[in-house]
């Protein structure tokens, strides 16, 4: 491979992360797919006790999962606007569903482990949250991001665990970063927890529980995508 091809690949990315067609970022078809999915409320089956009202912008299909994975694991930062705008759309769907005008809102990203952020070089969920807040403000909805949550040390990577282990792993696994009175944000502003994907619901449930315990008013959660359970005769879950 000539050096300039390798360099261009490194700098620009060679393929669409959603479908693999030669492209930079997300191709036109994948963009149309991602932006064309209707926002909706979602709930895993079974849902953990305390699972919050949650809105999402699409199913965790091949296109969504490819783009989210590339953004998170391959630092495909050119995808932040596309995915962050969809997160904003999901947040608006949630606000519509709660049917109250909360004024300004705080978006709180579900935290990754410090080690994962270090390995990846950036916090993809926080990046999506910042983009979503900007999009919401453009839409006339005052919103800002506050990373109020952190993982406790010793938490296993959720992605490596099955559904049952995820909830157990996370129980008590999050903490408020600082006592609520010292956060420097308007603690009276209601909170929307945000994440890239909801699978078992364990992360969102734990995040909401931790914030409620800290005295925050949590409206619910918003995600870019949600896994859709396929029903099959032999399924044991
Ligand atoms: Zn594509």
Read off the pLDDT of residues 79-96 as tens digits, 9 standing for 90 and up.
999 999 999 999 999 999
SS3 149: strand
Give me the pLDDT at residue 48, please.
94
Structure-block tokens of residue 218: 């949590």
Give me the pLDDT at residue 232, please.
46
> 193 C-alpha to center of ligand 1: Å?
28
205 contacts: CB under 8 Å, gap ≥ 6: 48, 49, 50, 51, 52, 167
Instruction: Indicate the class that CATH gives domain 39-226.
Output: alpha beta
* Banded pLDDT at 200 (limits 50, 70, 90): very high
> 176 C-alpha to center of ligand 1: Å?
38
**What value does the mean pLDDT take over residues 27-47?**
96
**What value does the mean pLDDT take over residues 19-41?**
95
Please report the sign of the dihedral spanned by the C-alpha atoms of residue 175, residue 181, residue 184, residue 189: positive
Query: In the chain, pLDDT over 90 holds for what percent of residues?
Result: 63
Peptide bond into 65 cis (omega under 30): no
Give me the pLDDT at residue 181, please.
53
**H or E, element range at 31:** helix 28-36
Give me the pLDDT at residue 1, please.
43
SS3 1: coil
**What value does the mean pLDDT take over residues 206-235?**
84
> 17 C-alpha to center of ligand 1: Å?
6
Average pLDDT score, the chain: 86
Lowest mean pLDDT among 16-20, 127-131, 159-163, 174-178: 159-163
Per-residue pLDDT tens over the stretch 141-198: 999 999 999 988 766 666 677 766 776 676 778 999 875 554 555 657 899 999 999 9
> 71 C-alpha to center of ligand 1: Å?
14
Structure-block tokens of residue 156: 């296993």
Whether 8 shows a pLDDT value over 60: the answer reads no
3-state helix, strand, coil in the chain (%, to 5): 45, 15, 40
All structural domains of the chain with their residue ranges: 39-226
**What value does the mean pLDDT take over residues 201-205?**
95
Which residues have their alpha-adjacent CB atom under 5 A from ion ligand 1? Answer: 16, 18-19, 27, 30
193 with 87: CB under 8 angstroms? Answer: no
User: Looking at residue 21, what DSSP letter applies?
Assistant: -
* Pairing of β 143-145 and β 105-109: parallel
Burial 85-119 (b: 16+ CB within 10 A, else e): bbbbbbbbbbbeeeeeebeebbbbbbbbbeebbee
> 34 C-alpha to center of ligand 1: Å?
10
> 188 C-alpha to center of ligand 1: Å?
42
> 8 C-alpha to center of ligand 1: Å?
19
Helices and strands (H, E) in the chain, number of each type: 8, 8
Lowest mean pLDDT among 19-23, 104-108, 112-116, 224-228: 112-116
CA–CA dist 15, 12 (Å, integer): 9
Structure-block tokens of residue 75: 């630092």
Please indicate, yes or no, whether the overall pTM of this predicted structure exceeds 0.75: yes
> 79 C-alpha to center of ligand 1: Å?
12
């Amino acid at each position: 491979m000539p050096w300039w091809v390798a360099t261009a690949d490194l700098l620009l990315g060679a393929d669409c992360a959603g479908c693999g067609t030669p492209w930079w970022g997300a191709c036109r078809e994948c963009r149309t797919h991602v932006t064309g999915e209707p926002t909706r409320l979602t709930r895993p089956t079974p849902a953990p006790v305390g699972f919050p009202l949650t809105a999402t912008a699409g199913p965790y299909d091949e296109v969504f999962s490819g783009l989210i994975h590339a953004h998170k694991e391959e630092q495909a930062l050119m995808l932040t606007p596309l995915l962050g705008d969809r997160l904003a759309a999901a947040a608006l769907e949630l606000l519509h569903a709660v049917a109250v005008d909360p004024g300004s809102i705080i978006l709180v990203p579900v935290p990754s482990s410090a080690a994962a952020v270090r390995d990846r070089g950036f916090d993809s969920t926080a990046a999506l949250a910042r983009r979503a807040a900007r999009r919401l403000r453009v839409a006339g909805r005052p919103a800002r991001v506050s990373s109020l949550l952190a993982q406790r040390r010793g938490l296993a990577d959720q992605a490596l665990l099955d559904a049952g282990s995820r909830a157990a792993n996370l129980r008590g696994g999050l903490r408020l970063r600082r006592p609520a009175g010292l956060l420097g944000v308007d603690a009276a502003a209601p909170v929307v927890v945000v994440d890239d994907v909801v699978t078992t619901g364990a992360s969102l449930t734990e995040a909401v529980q931790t914030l409620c315990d800290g005295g925050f008013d949590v409206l619910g959660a918003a995600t870019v995508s949600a896994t859709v359970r396929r029903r099959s005769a032999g399924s044991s879950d």
